[in-house]
């Protein structure tokens, strides 16, 4: 019994150890390189709105502007570019909070994890106080200016001091 088990275990081990690429016409590196090449060919430089989505996702529907991305309708009321990115198609996230949880923060993280870069579009400033030389957080706010943890019509960059007050 123990001997039979040993045999089975050895067989399983041999299966795992065998390199599946030995019987595949391309290597792992070649496959990864080709995938990168395909993704690069679809690369779309673009501007990203403060809502965290491509400016191109915004369009006029009847009398109002809407932002439509992947599986959600973002309530952003007006495209307002804040950053310039190498690949706008990674900005499809949904706002779950402020800062890194905002769609803009999540999109930047996704972009970086895919190996692309971004830069500010113009000089960013805190919307409530106008400070420029400060760290800024993207936040969704409601009609009366209180921070929300879900997508909103209104989004803004705010400094840490102003964020405490909203
Ligand atoms: Zn927007
Ligand atoms: Zn949006
Ligand atoms: Zn401020």
Residue 15 is predicted with a pLDDT of 61
The alpha carbon of 131 and the centre of ligand 3 are apart by a number of angstroms equal to 6
Residue 19 is predicted with a pLDDT of 87
Closest Cα partner for 46 from 55, 58, 37, 57? 55
The alpha carbon of 46 and the centre of ligand 3 are apart by a number of angstroms equal to 27
Taking CA 24 as the corner, what is the angle to CA 29 and CA 19, rounded to the nearest 5 degrees? Answer: 80
Summarised one tens digit per residue, pLDDT across range 3-20 is: 776 776 666 666 667 888
More confident residue, 147 or 15: 147
Find out whether 91 and 48 touch, Cβ atoms under 8 Å.
Answer: yes
Residue 106 is predicted with a pLDDT of 98
Summarised one tens digit per residue, pLDDT across range 65-121 is: 789 987 788 999 889 999 999 999 899 999 999 999 999 999 999 999 988 999 999
Residue 63 is predicted with a pLDDT of 76
Ligand nearest to the CA of 91: 2
> Which residues are near ligand 1, the ion (C-beta closer than 5 Å)?
49, 51, 67, 76
The alpha carbon of 135 and the centre of ligand 2 are apart by a number of angstroms equal to 22
Taking CA 83 as the corner, what is the angle to CA 133 and CA 50, rounded to the nearest 5 degrees? Answer: 90
Taking CA 36 as the corner, what is the angle to CA 33 and CA 18, rounded to the nearest 5 degrees? Answer: 40
Mean pLDDT, residues 11-39 taken together: 83
Instruction: Give the start-to-end residue ranges of the domains of the chain.
Output: 47-165
| Model confidence, pTM | 0.76
| pLDDT surpasses 90 at 34 | yes
Ligand nearest to the CA of 166: 3
Find out whether 156 and 127 touch, Cβ atoms under 8 Å.
Answer: yes
Mean pLDDT, residues 139-166 taken together: 95
The alpha carbon of 157 and the centre of ligand 1 are apart by a number of angstroms equal to 13
Residue 1 is predicted with a pLDDT of 61
| pLDDT surpasses 90 at 164 | yes
Structure tokens at 152: 């909103």
The alpha carbon of 68 and the centre of ligand 3 are apart by a number of angstroms equal to 29
The alpha carbon of 75 and the centre of ligand 2 are apart by a number of angstroms equal to 7
* pLDDT band for position 131 (cuts 50, 70, 90): very high
Ligand nearest to the CA of 136: 3
31 vs 28: CA distance, rounded Å:
5
126 vs 159: CA distance, rounded Å:
5
The alpha carbon of 115 and the centre of ligand 3 are apart by a number of angstroms equal to 31
**Cα dihedral value 53, 55, 69, 66, nearest 10:** 120
The alpha carbon of 24 and the centre of ligand 2 are apart by a number of angstroms equal to 43
Closest Cα partner for 155 from 46, 47, 49? 49
Ligand nearest to the CA of 131: 3
């Amino acid at each position: 019994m123990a001997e039979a088990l040993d045999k089975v275990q050895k067989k399983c081990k041999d299966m795992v150890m065998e390199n599946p690429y030995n019987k595949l016409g391309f290597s792992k590196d070649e496959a990864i390189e080709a995938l990168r090449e395909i993704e690069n060919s679809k690369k779309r430089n673009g501007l990203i709105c403060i809502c965290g989505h491509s400016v191109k996702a915004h369009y006029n529907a009847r009398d109002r502007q809407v932002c439509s991305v992947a599986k959600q309708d973002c309530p952003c009321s007006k495209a307002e570019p804040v950053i310039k990115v190498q690949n706008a198609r990674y900005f499809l996230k949904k706002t779950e909070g402020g800062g890194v949880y905002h769609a803009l923060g999540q999109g930047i993280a996704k972009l970086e994890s895919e190996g692309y870069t971004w830069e500010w579009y113009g000089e960013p400033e805190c919307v409530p106080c106008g400070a420029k030389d400060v760290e800024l957080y993207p936040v969704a706010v409601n009609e009366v200016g209180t921070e929300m943890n879900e997508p909103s019509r209104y989004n803004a960059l705010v400094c840490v001091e102003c964020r405490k007050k909203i």
